[in-house]
Structure 1
Amino acid sequence: MKIQLKRIDNDFYFELKNERGHVTHIDSTAQVGGHDMAPSPMEYVLMGVAGCSAIDVISILKKQRQEITDYRAEVDGTREEVNGAKPFKNITVIVYLEGDIDPEKAKRAAELSFEKYCSVSKTLEPTATIEYKVIVNNKVV
């Protein structure tokens, strides 16, 4: 896996491209000298957690013939300073599912994702506690 980064302006606005040609951008907030024209690198980490777990959960539920009509997630990360860096200390994910879905299967799919399959979560595991909650058809599982 390889990513190319190219500086766009004289500050912190960058274009990133993967090997398949997909392009995205990164910037920083105005507080640290950026223009806030794109998500920050740490926001992309949280997006990675959301996307990785979504792919896992949906894949597992589809294999179980569960009918998903909507999938949303909210990810909240808190950071703590450690020797000048600010890694994530805690990450909380709330998964919202709608459809003809067995709540226990949804709960198990999330468990498998966060505790076994999600490479992003597993990468963060040594430094961050990742908690998750599953809500199926507006009911906490």
Structure 2
Amino acid sequence: MKITLNRVNDNFHFELKNERGHIVNVDSRPEFGGDDQGPSPMELVLMGVAGCSAIDMISILKKQRQEISSFKAEVEGERVQVGEAKPFKDIHLVFYLEGNIKEDKAAKAAQLSFDKYCSVSKTLEPTATIHYKVVLNNVELAKI
């Protein structure tokens, strides 16, 4: 896996490209000297956790022949000062699923993602605690 980074302007706007040609813009907020032309690197980390676990959960539920009509997630990160850096301490995810999905299968899909499959959350495990809950058809199922 390889990513290339090119600086776009004189501040902190960067264009990142993967080997398949997909482009993501990264920047900093104006109060930190950026132009707000893309998410910050730490926002991308949260996006990565949400995207990775969503792919896992949908893959698991499809294999179990569950009918997903809607899948959304929200993720928030709490950071802590460690020297000059501010890594994530806690990450909270809420998954909103709708469809003809059995409750136990939705809860198990989330559990499997975080316990076994999600490489992004496994990368963050040494420094951040990941909490999640699943809301299926407007009913909260699992909260970890």
Identity of aligned residues (%): 65
Structure 1 Cα separation of the partners of residues 76 and 104 of structure 2: 24
Q: How does the TM-score come out when normalised to structure 2?
A: 0.97
Q: Which runs of 5+ in 1 are unaligned?
A: none
Matched, 1:118 2:109: no
Equivalent residues, number: 141
Query: Deviation string for 1:22-77 (max 9, x for gaps)?
Result: 11100001111001111000000000000000000000000000000000000000
Q: How does the TM-score come out when normalised to structure 1?
A: 0.99
Amino acid at match of 1:30: P
Amino acid at match of 2:83: N
CA drift of 1:83 comes to 1.3
SS at match of 1:62: helix
Structure 1 Cα separation of the partners of residues 67 and 115 of structure 2: 23
Q: Which residue of 2 aligns with 1:6?
A: 6
Q: Which residue of 1 aligns with 2:93?
A: 93
Structure 2 Cα separation of the partners of residues 91 and 122 of structure 1: 13
Structure 1 Cα separation of the partners of residues 36 and 29 of structure 2: 5
Q: Which residue of 1 aligns with 2:137?
A: 137
Matched, 1:83 2:49: no
Q: Which residue of 2 aligns with 1:104?
A: 104
Q: Which residue of 2 aligns with 1:19?
A: 19
Matched, 1:62 2:82: no
SS at match of 1:38: coil
Amino acid at match of 1:109: A
Q: Which runs of 5+ in 2 are unaligned?
A: none
Amino acid at match of 1:47: M
Q: Which residue of 2 aligns with 1:46?
A: 46
Structure 2 Cα separation of the partners of residues 95 and 55 of structure 1: 12
SS at match of 2:97: strand
After TM superposition, the structure 1 = structure 2 runs for residues 21-40 of structure 1, keeping only pairs within 5 Å, are: 21-40=21-40
